Amino acid sequence: MLRTMRLKVGCCGFPVSLDQYFKELEVVEVQVSFYRRIGEKQAQNWRSRAPEGFEFVLKAPQCVTHPPKSPTYRRSHLTPRERKECGYFRLSDAVKREMEIFLARARSLEAEKLLFQTPPSFKPTPENLEAMEAFFRHYQGAGTFLWEPRGGEWTPEVIEEVCQKLSLVHATDPLLEGPQLWGDFTYFRLHGSLRTYRHDYTPEELEIVLELAEEEGYIMFNNDRMWKNALEMKGLISQ
């Protein structure tokens, strides 16, 4: 590699102990915030143990993006009545309350970048696009918002238009979902293979990902060999 790159490599979650993780990598994408609230003491503990300059990215609560029937709600603390108000960027009382807590934890972790992952069932209908716009306008200025749309109905043209209009950074798996379409920096989420997250990236695949990345940004691993592959990618970048 001839070019000088400033890319941070991390994992989606902590696959090893906190101390080992903080020693080796510079960023983590917190997954637990999607399933349930992070306690203030837990957030303060993570921030105090992390070295200076370490970065937290938070995944937004499922109540914002996922419908109530999603199986991910099995770990949620929300009541059945509250769940009915959730999903697809509805600005309900329940969602606003959870977002208030979520943003407070983001401040405690000094996390500026917030990821919103939408499920394949969230399609580019006029109703959903209007809900997205209302939601992100409402929380404008609360951080840098990353958006990963899942499902084949989101065309590159629509993704780019939405990201540009709402100032969202497009998050993608370039090997599965195609190139990043909008954003001032790279945000790759590597999920494994088409069928399963049980995947060990080859040196050739890591090289391809690196070639597709911009000089600034993040390469995040979300497969079962995430720790191994993250360290391999870190070594590749340092060569």
For residue 203, what is the domain's CATH number? 3.20.20.410
Tell me the residue type at 65. Answer: T
CB atoms within 10 A of CB 112: 14
In this prediction the pTM is 0.94
Q: Do residues 148 and 189 make contact, with C-beta atoms less than 8 angstroms apart?
A: yes
Which phi and psi angles does 219 have, rounded to 5°?
-125, 110
Residue 230 placed within a domain: yes
- How deeply is 204 buried, as exposed, middle or buried, from its count of CB atoms within 10 A (0-12, 13-18, 19+)? exposed
Tell me the residue type at 82. Answer: E
- The pLDDT assigned to 114 comes to 98
Residue 1 placed within a domain: no
Residue 32 placed within a domain: yes
Q: Mean pLDDT of all residues in the chain?
A: 95
Question: Which residues is 116 bridged to in the sheet?
Answer: 147
Residue 41 placed within a domain: yes
- The pLDDT assigned to 72 comes to 87
Total domains, the chain: 1
Residue 90 placed within a domain: yes
- The pLDDT assigned to 195 comes to 72
What residues make up the domain containing 18?
A: 6-238
Residue 145 placed within a domain: yes
Q: Do residues 62 and 130 make contact, with C-beta atoms less than 8 angstroms apart?
A: no
Residue 71 placed within a domain: yes
What is the rounded average pLDDT of the residues 111-128? 97
Tell whether the model's pLDDT for residue 1 goes beyond 80. no
CA distance 206 to 238: 13
Six-digit token string for 209:
């990902």
Residue 112 placed within a domain: yes
- The pLDDT assigned to 117 comes to 98
Under the banding of pLDDT at 50, 70 and 90, the label for residue 3 is very low
CB atoms within 10 A of CB 141: 4
CA distance 198 to 224: 5
